[in-house]
Chain A
Amino acid sequence: MTQLALVIDLNVCVGCHACVTSCKEWNTSGEAGPLVDLRPYDADPTGTFFNRVQTFEVGEYPNTETVHFPKSCLHCEEPPCVPVCPTGASYKREEDGIVLVDYDKCIGCKYCSWACPYGVREVDAKRRVMTKCTLCVDRIYDEALPEWDRKPACVRACPTNARLFGDVHDPDSEVSTAIRENGGYQLMPEWGTKPANHYLPRHKTRITVREDELERSDNPLRIDSKLPKPDRDEPSLDDVTSW
């Protein structure tokens, strides 16, 4: 069974919010209706977003790291928001595992948002229904788009390729490989919601230089095992201008 999901690489995300604006632009222009912005140029602005990028500081000064953390619906494999819905407006698609809200059935009771520990559902103040990330379901199957473009708007927008999109149930997919090989993890695993979206942890990038790499290992006779140390007065020599 297919389970489409995003894999977000925290090691690469620079917190530029391109995914946020791209998501808003795509989803506010769709046939489901606009995502409201209230008082956008006034004091106390507010609005509906499916995707947010938050920033956390980890550690104590001066040993701190800044972590940019994009957050959208995780399309859980055991979505706690679905069974609580009294109308069946909140549902998980059998065919690709996307959790969606039927905006024509939703009564706006907000119960599903109480039953989501991640806080990724937002009531749209104008449409008065619950809204959430659709994984751009109106984009990824759109045959009018070229195949390379059939990805969620946030994935297409990311300038650092921090967002990967694919089927996490297919062991050979790009996302499954990334999760497996780069230590992908889920948020709040303690609740048993089994989020489909995964995050790749930050890691330090180091170049290990061994002792023999400082020697000329491509010299078969190894007669110049050490690089010469010219005297201070002599012109310096290096590998390129070899003697």
Chain B
Amino acid sequence: MHPAFSVIFLTTLIGAGQGLFIALFLVESLGLLGMAPMQNGTFFAFGILASLILLGLGLFASFFHLGRPERAWRTATKWRTSWLSREVIVLPAFMGVVFLYGLAHWLNFNPTLFTLPGDHPVLATVALGAVGTLLAVALYVSTAMIYAAVKFLQEWHSPLTVVNYTLLGAASGFTLATAYAAWSGAQLVPVLASTAIVLTLLGLGTRIASLIRNARIKPKSTLQTAIGIKHPRIVQKSQGFMGGSFNTREFFHHKSDGFVRTVKWVFLIAAFGIPTALLALSLVMTVDPTNVLIAAALIQYFGLLAERWFFFAQANHPQNLYYQSAS
């Protein structure tokens, strides 16, 4: 497939924004449970602001994918059948909850909403955080299912796609949260950095699993089934036109095999190798690790851009059988 930068930025930016929100809610939960130092409202408010900026930029990027962005509101109508429609509903809902969560922290408005049996008070921010986390997971699933649900793209049609989108998004969000915690001076680097390392390594494992799976895929369609002629040797002599068409542009990356292979190694190193090393380094550093962690977050984000580019480029659409000169 042709990797469109609008979609690459959309999926990576909102993935990081969701991960950052989950990390912040984890920090609050651990603080309330007394397992980590409790942070003040400003810490959460600015963290949520960063998350909202990422989500907003992702949403902004997504409009560049549309031919008719002014009609984007219509996409909320077919949620019964279309994962794209579901994503379009979940994303603004999630952003709304994230905004309220940040606002409640910013205003220090945190009444007890209700009490669970056994005298456990439920604070407003905890309720919002729990709903937000559910929506974040729903958004990971919706975004990934847009790709995993297309059975014709066998490289995508796998539960690994959903797992990878979730883990890679969460890993980049946690790395970002670690950098933010270090920058704001919160004593959270050990817990966040170690979670980010675990998520990054889990993501590496499942991404390699999908690379292995995709390397062994046997295409379901062949030129023989495409035109219905059962002869082992069929050569296309004409595509029906000599210039390009939508079909020759949309479904192929138009880069060499060597370039694609290079991108694969770039993302394996930049999205997983370097960030893991830098996060581990921050755990043992005696000086301020802020710059190291900011570098880790930026390099990981760059690596995930490469990972998403590769994700699209690797998918081979059966329609390319009809356009042999393009594929």
Could you list which residues of chain A lie within 8 angstroms of chain B, going by C-beta atoms? 17, 20, 39, 44-49, 52-60, 66-67, 69, 71, 80, 83-89, 105-111, 113-119, 121-123, 125, 127-129, 185-191, 199, 201-202
Is B88 interfacial (CB 8 A cutoff)? Answer: yes
- Residues B78 and A88 in contact, CB atoms below 8 Å apart: yes
Say yes or no for B191: interface residue by CB 8 A criterion.
no
Task: Knowing A119-B251, A122-B245 are in contact, say whether A191-B151 is a contact too (CB < 8 A).
Answer: yes
- Which residues from chain B contact A109 at a C-beta distance below 8 Å? 65-67, 75, 84
User: Closest residue of chain A to B229, judged by CB?
Assistant: A58
- Bits for B57-93, please: 1 = Cβ < 8 Å to A, else 0: 0000000011111011011111001111100100000
A107 touches B68 (CB 8 A): yes
List the B residue with the shortest CB-CB distance to A119.
B319
Specify the chain B residue showing the minimal Cβ separation from A131: B246
Question: In whole angstroms, how far apart are the Cα atoms of A57 and B152 in the complex?
Answer: 26
- Chain A residues with CB under 8 Å of B82's CB are 83-86, 111
A105 with B225: CB separation less than 8 A: no
Across-interface contacts of B117 in A (CB, < 8 A): none
Determine whether the beta carbon of B234 is less than 8 Å from that of A48.
Answer: no
For A56, give its contact among B237, B247, B323 (CB under 8 Å). Answer: B237
Q: Given that A44-B244, A107-B69, A122-B246 are known contacts, is A190 also in contact with B221, CB under 8 Å in the complex?
A: yes
Q: Do B317 and A119 touch (CB < 8 A)?
A: yes
Could you list 26 examples of A-B contacts with CB < 8 Å? A45-B243, A54-B236, A54-B238, A56-B237, A57-B237, A66-B237, A69-B227, A83-B78, A83-B81, A83-B82, A84-B81, A84-B84, A84-B149, A86-B85, A86-B88, A87-B74, A87-B75, A106-B71, A109-B65, A109-B67, A110-B65, A117-B221, A188-B225, A188-B226, A189-B225, A199-B227
Indicate whether A191 sits within 8 Å of B221 (C-beta atoms), given known contacts A54-B239, A201-B228: yes
Q: Contacts A48-B246, A84-B150, A107-B66: A185 and B77 contacting too (C-beta < 8 A)?
A: no
Contacting residues, chain A, for B228 (C-beta < 8 A)? 185-187, 199, 201
Minimum distance in angstroms from B323 CB to a CB of chain A: 7
Q: B245 touches which one: A47, A66, A106 (CB < 8 A)? A: A47
B220 within 8 A of A: yes
User: B148 contacts the other chain (Cβ, under 8 Å)?
Assistant: no
The docked-state distance in angstroms from the alpha carbon of A217 to that of B248 is 61
Residues of chain B lying within 8 A (CB to CB) of residue A89: 74
User: CB-defined interface of B203-219 with A at 8 Å, one 1/0 digit per residue?
Assistant: 00000000000000000
Q: 1/0 contact trace for B256-294 toward A, CB 8 Å?
A: 000000000000000000000000000000000000000
| CA distance in complex: A82, B239 (Å) | 26
* Nearest 3 pairs of A and B residues by beta carbon: A108-B67, A119-B319, A128-B67
Instruction: Decide: B235 and A86 in contact? CB cutoff 8 A.
Output: no
**Interface size bucket, B side?**
35 or more
- Give the Cβ gap from B322 to chain A, nearest Cβ, in Å: 5
The interface residues of chain A, by DSSP majority, are classed as loop
The answer to whether B152 and A108 touch across the interface, beta carbons within 8 angstroms, is no
- Quick one: given A60-B233, A188-B318, are A53 and B245 in contact (CB under 8 Å)? no
8 extra A-B contacts, CB within 8 A, seeds A188-B318, A190-B225 = A46-B245, A54-B240, A85-B78, A86-B77, A111-B146, A115-B150, A118-B322, A187-B225
Contacts of B318 in A (CB 8 A): 117, 188
Chain B residues with CB below 8 A from A122, complex form: 245-247
- In the bound complex, do residue A105 and residue B71 qualify as a contact, i.e. CB atoms below 8 Å apart? yes
Cross-chain contact B152 with A80 (CB below 8 angstroms): yes
B1 at the interface (CB under 8 A from A): yes
Supposing A56-B227, A114-B153, A190-B221 touch, asked if A106 and B85 sit within 8 A by C-beta, the answer is no
Inter-chain residue pair count (beta carbon < 8 A): 174
Q: Which of B68, B69, B72, B76 has the most CB of A within 10 A?
A: B68
User: What residues of chain A lie closer than 8 Å to B68, measured between beta carbons?
Assistant: 106-108, 128-129
Q: Which of B67, B251, B322 contacts A71 (CB 8 A)?
A: B322
Distance (whole angstroms) from the CB of A75 to the closest CB of chain B: 17
Question: Could you say which residues of chain A place their CB within 8 Å of the CB of B229?
Answer: 56, 58, 67, 201-202
Smallest distance from the beta carbon of B314 to chain A beta carbons, Å? 14
Whether the pair B237, A55 counts as a contact (CB closer than 8 A) is: yes
Q: Pick from B85, B88, B231, B236: contact of A59, CB below 8 A.
A: B231
Nearest-Cβ distance from residue A177 to partner chain B, whole angstroms: 19
Q: How many angstroms between the C-alpha atoms of A129 and B322 in the bound complex?
A: 22
Contact A191 B146 (CB under 8 A): no
Question: CA of A122 to CA of B250 in the docked complex: distance in angstroms?
Answer: 9
Give chain A nearest CB distance to B83 CB in angstroms. Answer: 8
A58, A83, A125 — most chain B CB neighbours (10 Å): A58
Tell me which of A88, A185, A186 has the highest count of chain B C-beta atoms within 10 A of its own C-beta. Answer: A88
Interface-centre pick from A17, A107, A129 (highest chain B CB count, 10 A): A107
Instruction: For A191, list chain B residues within 8 Å (CB).
Output: 151-152, 220-221
Complex interface residues of chain B between 98 and 132 (CB less than 8 A to chain A)? none
Smallest CB separation, A190 vs chain B (Å): 5
B76, chain A: closest CB distance, angstroms: 8
Smallest Cβ distance from A47 to chain B, in angstroms?
7
Q: Report A-chain residues with C-beta under 8 Å of the C-beta of B235.
A: 56-57
A54-B239, A54-B240, A191-B151 as given contacts; A114 in contact with B245, CB under 8 Å: no
Question: In the complex, A122→B247 CA distance in Å?
Answer: 7
